[in-house]
Amino acid sequence: MTEPSATLQRDPSQAWAVHRPGGRDVALMAVAVVGVSFSGPLTALVATSFLAIAFWRNAAGAVLLLPVLLLRERATLTGLRPRQLTSSLVAGLFLAAHFAAWLPSLSMTTVAASTALVTTTPIWTALAARVSGVHLPRQVWWGLALAVFGAALIAGVDVAVSWRALAGDALALLGAICAGGYMLAGARARERLSTSAYSIVCYSTCAVALAVAAVVADVPLTGFSARDWWLIAAITFCAQLLGHTLLNLVLSTVGPTVVGLAILLEVPGALLVALVLLDQVPPLLAVPGMVAVVLGVALVIRAGRPTPVTEPVT
């Protein structure tokens, strides 16, 4: 998991750029997508507070990655200054806000609708890319539109017509916006930090923020049933270690836009897992939405590296 420093991006504009992923990156993203696809369905099975779930998956993720940092990537800490951890801290705060918004939505609307809306993150990373001066190829925009349309189609099919469901949809969308901030800050942090160093700082910051929120909200962080503890362990392994950590690993080479679009594959993945674990059968109209998501992701991944917008010479 150690990357040579020469591979890390130094140009700030490239923190938002799209890069053509290699075979290794595609394989890692595929495993990560499978991992995050279990996040929503498994979380829906846990009876305890969502703040507690998010706290433990992040705290455990940070602790489990510590041996990797100390044994394999300790050299990356040489010469590291505290100010270089700022982006990791910001990413952790965005991640905490993402969990605090999205996880409650899983009990307010269907897993399919919540997952589809929370994976609209590429909309916000693409907008940030354009604002930062990066020109995205037309193929990226077509792929983005197609993938987001597919996610919206799935959500539109599964959303129940009720104020509670609408509130759940709004929370899932807010979670997507926060996830966009998490990816962008993470891309900047990964310019200088190894995967384990960045992940440990980010997850620890997220866990501390969630613990403070739990204290303020008077939510217990212990005293769960054995079943809930096992489910939290499964969520930590699948979603946190295989999901978020592997995505952090490829973030510095493919950029947050490609990572965000790859995560859209969580929509059909979560539908299938929910079908098995929760007996939630997706409506027939959700099938073309799943196909649209996959095709949209494929379009963006096939797009080449964008070029920064330049002012015309006068």
One DSSP character per residue, 22-58 reads -HHHHHHHHHHHHHHHTHHHHHHH--S-HHHHHHHHH
**Predicted local distance difference test score (pLDDT) of residue 302:** 67
Burial class (CB in 10 A: 0-12, 13-18, 19+), 276: exposed
Q: Indicate whether 59 belongs to any domain.
A: yes
Q: In this structure, is residue 1 part of a structural domain?
A: no
Which structural domain, as residue segments, surrounds residue 244? 11-72+81-307
Q: Is the pLDDT of residue 7 over 50?
A: no
Residue 20 is encoded by which pair of tokens? 């053509």
Say if 6 falls within a structural domain.
no
Instruction: Identify whether 41 is part of a domain.
Output: yes
**Separation CA 202–CA 249 (nearest Å):** 13
Check residue 282 and give its pLDDT: 63
Strand partners for 308 = 134
Tokens at residue 148, please?
Answer: 């987001």
What average pLDDT does the segment 121-148 reach? Answer: 79
- Above 70 in pLDDT, residue 126? yes
- As a whole number, mean pLDDT of residues 127-149 equals 80
Residue 111 CA to residue 253 CA, distance in Å, equals 31
- Give the C-alpha separation, 300 to 178, whole Å: 22
Number of domains in the chain: 1
In a domain, 227, yes or no: yes
What is the pTM (predicted TM-score) of this model?
A: 0.78
Is residue 314 assigned to a domain? no
Instruction: Tell whether the model's pLDDT for residue 231 goes beyond 80.
Output: yes
114 or 83, which is more confident: 114
Q: Is residue 239 part of a domain?
A: yes
Tens of pLDDT, residues 48-65: 889 999 999 999 989 988
- Between 307 and 217, the more confident residue is 217
Q: Does the residue 237 lie in any domain?
A: yes
